Amino acid sequence: MERFTGFIAGLGTSAGRRLVVGHWMDSPLGAFTDVMTEDRDGLRTLLAPHRAVADYVSATYRFDDVVVAPLDASLSPAGERSAEPGNEPGTAALVLRVSGGPLELRADLGPLTALGWMLQLVPARMAVHPAWLTAVNRAAGILLPGVATAGSAGGGRREYYGVRSIRGVERAAASWDGAGLGPLAPVDPPVRFGFSSVPRTPQAVAVTTTILPARR
């Protein structure tokens, strides 16, 4: 079993580019940040900080292009220590910054949403357990169309998203190859990297992703 603990932020831009940022504090590959992005024409690109991440993520999701480049990233309240999944401030705004390769991004995250507060009531061990995430998979898709909590990770593996809290993305400024991407927009159409999109409304979640190996 492999587990990645951190944050996923999903947002759209008026230029049509949609961005999914994975900001991982703990994983089998160490701490890292990666970005999955799809442009207006449907071209799917992975930004990875080094080859090991690029190879692992490319084996799990689908891309048309992979860019390996150092990524400088942070997620923290202004003037405070970095946030930790499941233990981030409930009222203070957070700022997500990512810089590297063709991407420059700043996203301002608001306080926990009502659903985010409710998710924190689920016991931590249950919230990330594959059996629980399989059971709530259909309900997740009803609450957030296009979203799934359990599905295929390729090669016979299974993947599970255990979300611990949710924040809205209130503002964002981003550029790609030096060209501004315009104001924040819904993630529409949904992204097509794996079995699940992110919600249409720009959001950031504290999450534990679990990948189980193929059964022998």
Q: pLDDT tens, 152-198?
A: 988 888 999 999 999 999 999 999 999 999 999 999 999 999 999 99
What average pLDDT does the structure give for the chain?
Answer: 91
Mean pLDDT of 65-74: 96
- Does 189 sit behind a cis peptide bond, omega within 30 degrees of 0 on the bond before it? yes
- The answer for residues whose C-beta is within 8 angstroms of residue 38's C-beta and 6 or more apart is 17, 18, 44, 45, 191, 192, 193
Residue 86 lies in a domain: no
Residue 191 lies in a domain: yes
Mean pLDDT of 209-213: 92
For 41, the 3-state DSSP assignment is coil
The confidence score (pLDDT) of residue 144 equals: 85
pLDDT, one tens digit per residue, over 6-24 is 999 999 999 999 999 999 9
Residue 57 lies in a domain: yes
Residue 122 lies in a domain: yes
d(Cα 100, Cα 161) in Å, to the nearest integer? 26
Residue 208 lies in a domain: yes
What amino acid occupies position 204? A
78 pLDDT exceeds 60?
no
The confidence score (pLDDT) of residue 191 equals: 96
Q: Does residue 42 contact residue 54 with C-beta atoms inside 8 Å?
A: no
Q: Give the global pTM.
A: 0.90
Using the CB atoms, write b or e for 37-55: b if 16+ within 10 Å: bbbeeeebbbbbbeeebbe
Strand-pairing partners, residue 211, are: 2, 159
d(Cα 183, Cα 173) in Å, to the nearest integer? 7
146 pLDDT exceeds 50?
yes
The confidence score (pLDDT) of residue 88 equals: 53
Residue 207 lies in a domain: yes
The confidence score (pLDDT) of residue 1 equals: 87
89 pLDDT exceeds 50?
no
Mean pLDDT of 116-128: 89
The confidence score (pLDDT) of residue 179 equals: 97
Count the domains in the chain: 1
Measured CA distances, 80 to 77, 93, 111 (Å): 5, 11, 15
| Containing structural domain, residue 55 | 2-80+92-212
d(Cα 58, Cα 81) in Å, to the nearest integer? 32
Name the token pair of 164: 């611990």
Mean pLDDT of 51-65: 96
Residue 85 lies in a domain: no
